[in-house]
Each structure stands twice: as C-alpha cells, then as structure tokens.
Structure 1
Amino acid sequence: MERESMECDVVIVGGGPSGLAAAIRLKQLCQENDVDLSVVVLEKGAEVGAHILSGAVMETRALDELIPDWKEKGAPLNTPATEDEFLFLTKGSSFRLPTPPTMNNHGNYIVSLANVARWLGEQAEGMGIEVYPGFAAAEVLYHEDGSVKGVATGDMGIGKDGEKTAHYQPGMELHAKVTLFAEGCRGSLTKGLMERFDLRKDCDPQTYGIGIKELWEIEPEKHTPGKIVHTIGWPMSGDTYGGSFLYHLEDNQVAVGFVIGLDYKNPHLSPFDEFQRFKQHPSIRPIFEGGRRVSYGARAINEGGWQSIPKLTFPGGALIGCAAGFLNVPKIKGSHNAMKSGMTAAEAIFEALKGGDATQGVEPTAYPDMLKKTWVYDELYKVRNIRPAFRAGLLPGLAYSAIDTYIFRGKAPWTLHHHPDHESLMPASQAQPISYPKPDGKISFDKLSSVFLSNTNHEENQPAHLTLKDPSIPVDYNLALYDAPEQRYCPAGVYEIVRDDDGGNPRLQINAQNCVHCKTCDIKDPTQNIHWVVPEGGGGPVYPNM
C-alpha cells in the first residue's frame, strides 16, 4: 500500500496556541483580501488540547489582537487574577517577598491552556480550516532541491517487531508551499530541522526546565478564585533552579506545580519526588488536606529566551511558538508570545503566497524581521539575563535579577549565555544522595498512580517511540557513571534498571506505554543517546482542564 498525498497551501504541525493562532490569522487575511488559501492543522493528540499542559496564567495581549471579541465568543478565560504572593520557603517556614514586576498578574487570567486550545480549535474549524487530531507528523518531506515539501503522518498498525500487522495503514503525505512547525518544546521534527538547516549556528543552545503539575479540588473555605502563589527555596538546594506555582481557578480547583531547571547537577535528584516533597511543606500541605487530586501531567519548557532563539525560517517552512522558544521565564508565561509568533508568521506567509505565483519550497523570509518589530522581542530582550544569572545559585541569582530589573531595567550592556543541559550532571560518586520520603497517598503520590490520572494510553503493539542510538550506553555509561539518572528525571516511570534474581545482569527496561510526552529524556540524557519520536497518532496523555 502506497501513501496517499494531499496538496494544500500551508500545513501547520501542531494544534497548540501558536499553530491555531497562525491558522486563524491566515484565514482572517484570506477573508479580508478575498484570497483562497487552503490551511491544514495536524495534531498528534487524540483531540485538540489533549497534549497541552501549562500552569497557566494567560496574558491576553495576543488573543486581544487575534480575536478582539473573545469574551463574547465564549473563550474559556473565566478567572481573572486577583492577588499575587511570592514566598521564600525554608524547610519549616515561609517568608513573603516583594512580588517582582514581571510576576504582577493584574489583568491576566488563570486558565486551562488545554481548554483554551480546544476553543481556538473550534474557532479555526468554524472558519473552514481543516484540523486533524490524532494524526502525528512523523517525517519531514523534502524536494529535490532540499527545501521542505511537507510532512508525512506515521504509519498505523506496525507491530513491536517492526512488521506490518493486519491493521496496517500507511501514513499520508501532506504537501504544502509552506510548512509551519508548531510542535511545542523539543519537537521531534523541529529537532531534525535544526540539524539539517543548522538553525542554531548563531544562537545559544536552548536550555530547559521540567514542569510537573497536578489539578486538585480543594475544600471551599480554602479556595480564593484568582489567587496566585509562587515559591522559591525549599526543597531545592541553592545551586538548583526551581520553584512552584499554585493557581486558584474556578470551581474550587487549584493547579499546583513545580518547575526545575534541567541544568541541575546532582544525578540523584528526582523532579517528581521534589514536587511531592514540596506539597508536604507546612505552608502548603494544609491547602490540600481534605481535597482530591483530579489530574496529573508533566512537560518540558523552554528557558533559553532571547539569546536561544534560532534562525526561524528555512526553505519551505518556519518555526513558531515553543518550537522556537518564546517563553518569558521571569514572567512564567509563553502562550501570548507563542500566539503572536504564529500570527506574525501567518502575515509573512500570506504576503508570500497571496499572488498565487509561489509553487513550492517557499521560505517566509520576512517573518523574523517582522517579529523583531513586535513586542515579543522587546519583552524577551529585557529579561534575557535573569535565567542564566541563577547558574551562580539562588541568592546571587535573586540579587542580580533585582539589579537587572530595577537599575539596568533590562538594558545591561552585556548578555549572559547558556550551556546545554545534558552536560551539567556530575558523577554520582561525587554527588550527595537524596532520600525521598515515601508517598502518603493523601498529599504525595507515586509515579504510576500519577500517570493513571494523566489518561495516558498507547497502542501496546507498536515499536517503542523512545529509541536508543546505542543500546549499550544506559548500562555501560549512564548506570556506571551517573547511577542511571533516567530512572529519576523521567516523571512517568518509563525508564527502569532491572536485574536478574541474583542482582546481576543490569539492563534498561523502557516502559513506553507510560510516556506522557514531556521530552525530558530527549533533553537530559548525558550522551544524547535517547531520541524521542512520535508514537502512533492519538497516543499519549489526554489532559482534561490542564
């Protein structure tokens, strides 16, 4: 069976905020100018929003521009931010700090970004945009001249042995004049494009964090709609970047999460267990006592900012949203920048295609310069030095951030730089072991019960989408030198060192069915031996209200 193909003007890989904003803006321009461009959005999740996980407090700046009457159209922004708290935690107490200007949330909304994406998907479909959930773009297609031709979705019905089963269906090729990649943080196709077109030649490496989140229903008397709390300090050591958030949504729900920079040094550290330990703090635990945990998830986030933005275009396509890395780390927000990047790319693409002369491999070269003239670059430039300053430690990072914010006002005559996260681990023999308390099943939990709440599901009879370039490295190198850190940095129990009954013959077991698609393994593995590829379309988590 050969793959069928479909021709269109623009293919967008990823049905998140940036991809859907790009699609909607393209259609708006078509309607305003009486031009017909076909736009297709591919989304690997079982539904739009299924794989979207974020805090999230949303700044509406981009949404106001894209859909000014979003309130009248029923956008799910229901909880205005009402108050901010910024706490420094020690092991047994907490101290309130002044809220930094970047974390002032007046005018913002506490949202489920997954539900915002679902609503954007409805708006896109209402405009005639073809949105295909459950179709994972697995391969970039190229013309003979090397320009991007489009993408192919993954084959269905391939067994674990790599052979076709009775349910085999070949993927479909989607050919486009321009392909936009909106895969989110550390997208697998974007990663290949970075290498093929050397898009990182003139920028810093991207640096990342892992965000782990739970949604809780708490007792009504403890709930304050619109309240926003951020913490730093315990349980993190002073040399590890990290902090928490608690966002009070509507209906007695609180989103609680922890973010840890993936440049941490101690291979014994487990981000999941640090999060569970954090919830036991005497200032935090009472909020959740008597409540009920509703959902769980995890996702890597970009932390590189301005100096890590790659070249955004290449022959036949462009990068938008978190695929490129527009998160504002000090503000702890990225959806507004992601949407604006998609909208700007759409405007550049429309100008390139509206005459009807373009045929194939169109590079929207105007997009980067157009984006630099928007508020996105100005916003990211002003905070570019804050995240890398914390490599010196928590207290020096706080001190520098205050100086950079209040004295230099983001215009310091220098730029601090990033390094790859996978190079930061020290040997296990030189690191302090960490003893984590057992979960109590009330406030803190284990990984497997948490993954259950993410609604994660993969077709069992398929090749593992977590691939190893060299199968010997996990034991011969990672286990020997770092005590197999993949067992701890994965928040879903995917990686496990198993041994024979006598304790010998250690080997890595990959429980791919547990994967919540956070991409941490692809980022943090010390030798970059783990390569994450898309599973069958529709596989992975299904996040409700996350």
Structure 2
Amino acid sequence: MEREVMEYDVVIVGAGPAGLSAAIRLKQLNSELAVMVLEKGSEVGAHILSGALFEPRALDELLPDWRAMGAPLNTPVSEDRVYLYRSQSAATKLPGFAVPAPMHNAGNTIISLGSLCRWLAEQAEAAGVEIFPGFAAAEVLYHDDGSVKGVATGDLGRDKKGEPKDSFQPGIELHARYTLFAEGARGQLGKELIARYDLAAGVTAQHYGIGIKELWQIDPAKHQPGLVVHGAGWPLSEHGATGGSFLYHMEDHQVAVGLIADLNYANPYLSPFEEFQRFKSQREIRKYLEGGKRLCYGARAITKGGFNSLPKQTFPGGVLLGCDAGTLNFAKIKGIHTAMKSAMLAAETVHTALQAGDQGRTDLVAYQAAFKDSWLYAELYQARNFGPALHKFGTFLGGAFNWIQHNLFGGKMFFTLKDTTSDHEQLRPAAGYQPIQYARPDGELSFDRLSSVFMSNTAHEEEQPCHLQLLDSSKAIAVNFNVYASPEQRYCPAGVYEIVEEASGPRLQINASNCVHCKTCDIKDPTQNIRWVAPEGGGGPNYPNM
C-alpha cells in the first residue's frame, strides 16, 4: 500500500512554543505560504510539560498585542525566594543580593505552558496554518542529493511484531521546501539529523536533566499568587548529585512543584523519582502541600548544555529549533522565550530564502549570522559558564562562581568553562555503591510510580511495536544488570523498565504503555543501548495544563 504524499512550502515538526512561533512568524511574513505543523500528542499541549516561568520578550516581538488578544499569562511574579536546602528540616534563604542576577524574575509570569501552546495554536490557525495533532513524525525523508525532503508520519495499525492488522493505515509523506524540527529535548529526528550531518562537530557534549513535576490544589489560606520558590541542595546532595527545585504559586489556588535532577550523576542506585518524593517533605515545601490534593503528574528531559553544546542548527533543507538544538538558558532556568526566538529567526531566514526564489534543499547558513546578531546569542553566551561551573565545582562553590560571573562581570568572563563528558558516561558500576533504601510512599505527600503515571493520563495502543528499542538485547542483563544493577529501573520516572526473576535468570521487561515520553532512557543508558522512537500518534501522556 503506497503512502499518500502532501506538499507544503514549510513543514514543522512539533506544536510546542518553538514550532508554533515559527509557523506564526512565517504567516506574518507571507500569508500565501503553505505551512503545516505536525504534533504527536493527541491535541496541542497534551505532551507539553514545563515549570513554567515565562519571560515575555520573544512574545512581545511575535505578537505585541498579546495582552489584548487574551494570552493566558495571568499570574505575574510577586515574590522571589531562593533556598539552599541542607536537610529535610533545614534550609537557608538567600538574600536577594546573594542570588545570581539571571535568577531574578521581576517582570516574568507563572504560566501553564500547555495553555500557552493551545493559545498560540489558535493564533496560528487563525493565520492559516494547518495543524495536525495525533500524527507522529517518525521518519526523515531525503532527496537523492542528501538534503531533507520532508518527513513521514508513522504507520497506524501494526501489531507487536510489526505486521499489519486489519486496521492498518500507512504513514503519510509530507514534502516541503524546508522542514523545521521542533520536537523538544532529545528529539528522535533531531538526534538523527545531528548525527547524519555531524552538526555537533567542535562543540562540547550535550547535557540534560530530568524534570519531574506535579500540579497541586492547596489550601487557599496558604496560597500566595505569584510566589516563586527555587532551591538546590537536599535531597540530591546526599548522594553526590546536583539539580534544582521549584514551587510556583499559580492561579486558582494551584501550585506547581518540581525537581530537576542533572543526568550526569554517578550513583546507579539513585532514583530521580524517589528523590522528588523526598523533596516534597522538605519543611519549606511541605508546609504548602499538606492538606492539598495532587492533580497531575509528569516528567520530561531538559536540554541544558547551553551555548557550549549548541550544534550547528542548519543543514540542507532544514533547521533545528529550540530544545531540539538546545537553546535553553540554564542560568535563568528558562527556555521558552529562547526557543521562540530561535524559531522566529529560522522563520525569517526561510522566508528570505523563499522570497529570493530558493526552491529548498539549501543549507540556510544565513541563519547563523542572524542568530549571532540577536539578543538570543548574547544571552546564551553570557550564560555559557553557568552549567559547567555547577558540574565542576558543585552546588555551593559553583553557585558562588556563578554569582561572581553574573553579578560582578555580567556574564562577560574572559574564559569559558567546558564539560566535555556525556551524562551517560558519568554513571559508575554498582559495585562502588550501596543500594539506596527509599521510604515507602505515604499516599499524602509521596506516591508510587504507577499511581503517578495514572495522574499523567498516559495511554498507548497496546497492540503495536514497542517504541523503546534495545539495539542489543543481550546488554540488558550482561551489562546493565550485571554491572550497573539495572539503573533503568530507577532513572525511568514511569515504571517502564522492570527486572523479572525467572527460573532461567533475570529478564528485562519493558512496560512501554507506561511511557510518559520523557526521553531519559535514551539519554542515561550507560551504553546508549536504548533507542526511543515515536509510538503511534496520539499515544503518551495527556497533560491538561502542565
């Protein structure tokens, strides 16, 4: 059965803030362009998860009248607090002058990124953009000359062995003069393109964190709209790991609470999910959550290598946008405005090329010049040492270095720190560590994985090929189990990976239907043996407003 072919001027993969911003900007520049956006979630926003604190700089440029247009930015930051957590009961609040300048949030807004993306999708559709949710871009298509031709959506209706069922429908080929990739952190197709075109040549290894978040309804008497609480230290510091945490007071007596664990940790027994459950018992966090009700749960990898790890973003026939490339500003703990700006620059570059008669297939090197002339480049460059300092010196000394570099030097240090070791290479054999004994969940503040996955509204078609592929199935036991005590059981926040003891010995069981599409397994597996690919479109979490 042949695949249907559809032709567009520009195809965009991913209906997040980057993809939608690119689509809107293209239509602003030329309303006649045929622009379409593919989204693997069941609807726009279904797979979107972020803190989120929003800096409106890029939105001000893209849609200056966003306030009058009803953008869902309803909770301006009213107060900033930053803590160093020393234990479950001890925390030191940093005075404002002791906080690195990029972490101040005056003028920013607490938002639901899912809600913002739904609003952006409305603006895009009003401008004539075609948006297709529920269709996963599963394959990059190439011309004979090696340039990108477009993408193909995944087949529907294959059984677990990959054989067609009665309901089989082949994927659709979407051809474009230019294809923009905005899949978010560790995008499947972005990863392929970076390798195929050697886009990461000459830059340091990319780095990631896993962000785990819950949405809570709390006692109105405890709610302080606009309060932002950031922190670092306990509980991750007990096991030599680094990361940060957040508690954001949103509207409607809701708070977003989360933990970001850097994925460069060494201890294979560490569980970011369990550390998040512990974090909620910290005195400064517990006091808000006690008596409240958990509404939603989710997790997502974060691309945080920043400027030093940023690959070349253009290649023949396409551009990488936002977190698919890694434009997050780690110093600010923000990536929405930077993703949007990268997308707007790409849209402007594509428009200029098409207006000049370009028919596609070109490596749009003009994007790099536009990027270097933008505030985005300046912002990322000034933040280039923030992450490496924390990785090299730890939370406390790294934090002191970052205060000096930003508060005294404005990020304009005369040298650049680099972290050249990939996160998966940092994991050490289990023989050097003792198993961590995590407490059982209490069902009030702490919870287990399966009840948490239920709160993410995750669903997949059960009868389909497993989208979590082992490149060498023998390594699951020979390497991961025997050497690292199967760390995938712990770094996965959704209970996907499970060691089953059988008479013949241990066996790795993959519960793919639990997957919340965080991509952590694709990042942290010590031998890079797990490959995440898109399941059937519409599968995965269904976040309401995360």
**TM bracket (short chain):** over 0.9
SS at match of 2:291: coil
- Closer/same/farther in 2, CA of residues 402 and 360 from structure 1, 3 Å limit: closer
1:473 is aligned to 475
The RMSD of aligned alpha carbons is 1.0
Measured after TM superposition, the shift of residue 280 of structure 1 is 1.0
Q: Return the alpha-carbon distance in structure 2 between the equivalents of residues 256 and 4 of structure 1.
A: 44
Task: Please report how far the alpha carbon of residue 433 of structure 1 lies from its aligned counterpart in structure 2 after TM superposition.
Answer: 2.7
- Secondary structure of the structure 2 residue equivalent to 1:499: strand
CA distance in 1, matches of 2:269, 2:427: 10
Deviation at 1:408, TM superposition (A): 2.9
SS of the aligned residue for 1:224 comes to coil
Q: Which residue of 1 aligns with 2:5?
A: 5
| Aligned residue type for 2:52 | A
CA distance in 2, matches of 1:364, 1:52: 29
Residue 295 of structure 1 aligns with which residue? Answer: 296
Q: 2:64 aligns with which of 56, 65, 68?
A: 68
The whole-number CA distance in structure 1 between the counterparts of 2:453 and 2:186 is 21
SS of aligned partner of 1:284: helix
1:43 equivalent in structure 2: 39
Q: What's 1:90 paired with?
A: 86
Alignment of structure 1 residues 376-391 onto 2, 5 Å: 376-391=376-391
Contact 2:247 2:285 survives alignment (8 Å) = no
User: By how many angstroms is 1:85 displaced?
Assistant: 0.3
The reply on whether 1:396 has 2:393 as its aligned counterpart is no
Question: Contact (CA 8 Å) 1:22, 1:343: kept in 2 or not?
Answer: yes
Question: Is the CA contact (8 Å cut-off) linking 2:56 and 2:108 kept in structure 1?
Answer: yes
How far 1:363 sits from its partner (Å)?
2.6
Describe the SS at the equivalent of 2:237: coil
User: SS at 1:72's partner residue?
Assistant: coil
Q: Secondary structure at the match of 2:505?
A: coil
Q: Distance in 2 between matches of 1:388 and 1:333?
A: 17
The residue that corresponds to 2:333 in the other structure is 332
Q: Percent of aligned pairs with the same residue?
A: 61
Is residue 458–residue 515 contact of structure 2 (8 Å, CA) maintained in 1?
yes
Higher mean C-alpha deviation, range 398-407 or range 489-498? 398-407
Give yes or no for contact 2:78–2:226 (8 Å, CA) kept in 1: yes
Given that 2:516 and 2:541 are in contact with CA atoms closer than 8 Å, whether structure 1 keeps it comes out as: yes
Q: CA deviation at 1:464?
A: 0.5
8 A contact 2:290–2:445 mirrored in 1:
yes
Shift of 1:126: 0.6
TM superposition shift of 1:88: 1.1
Q: Is residue 342 of structure 2 the alignment partner of residue 341 of structure 1?
A: yes
Query: By how many angstroms is 1:409 displaced?
Result: 2.4
Shift of 1:402: 1.9
Residue 19 of structure 2 corresponds to which residue in structure 1? 19
Moved more, 235-244 or 303-312: 235-244
Q: Deviations over 1:278-309 (max 9, x none)?
A: 11122221211111000000000011000111
Aligned partner of 1:499 among 476, 501, 515 = 501
Residues 19, 320 of structure 1: 8 Å contact kept: yes
Letter in 2 for 1:527: T
Whole-angstrom distance in 2 between the partners of 1:517 and 1:262? 16
Give 1:531's aligned residue.
531
- Equivalent in the alignment of 2:542: 542
Note if contact 1:217-1:293 (Cα within 8 Å) is conserved in structure 2.
Answer: yes
Unpaired segments ≥5 residues, structure 2: none
**Candidates 49, 56, 59, aligned match of 2:52:** 56
In structure 1, the gaps of 5 or more residues are none
Please identify runs of 4+ aligned residues in structure 1 that moved more than 4 A.
none
CA distance in 2, matches of 1:537, 1:140: 16
State how far apart, in whole Å, the 2-side matches of 1:241 and 1:387 are.
11
TM-score normalised to structure 1 length: 0.97
Residue 446 of structure 1, aligned match among 423, 448, 472: 448
The corresponding residue for 1:368 is 368
Is the deviation greater in 280-289 or in 326-335?
280-289
- SS of the residue corresponding to residue 381 of structure 2 reads helix
Helix, strand or coil at the partner of 2:284: coil
Aligned residues: 539
TM-score (norm 2): 0.97
Q: Distance in 1 between matches of 2:304 and 2:363?
A: 27
Question: 2:385–2:416: 8 Å Cα contact kept in structure 1?
Answer: yes
* Cα distance, 1:79 vs structure 2: 0.4
1:79 aligns with 2:79: no
SS, match of residue 370 in structure 2? helix
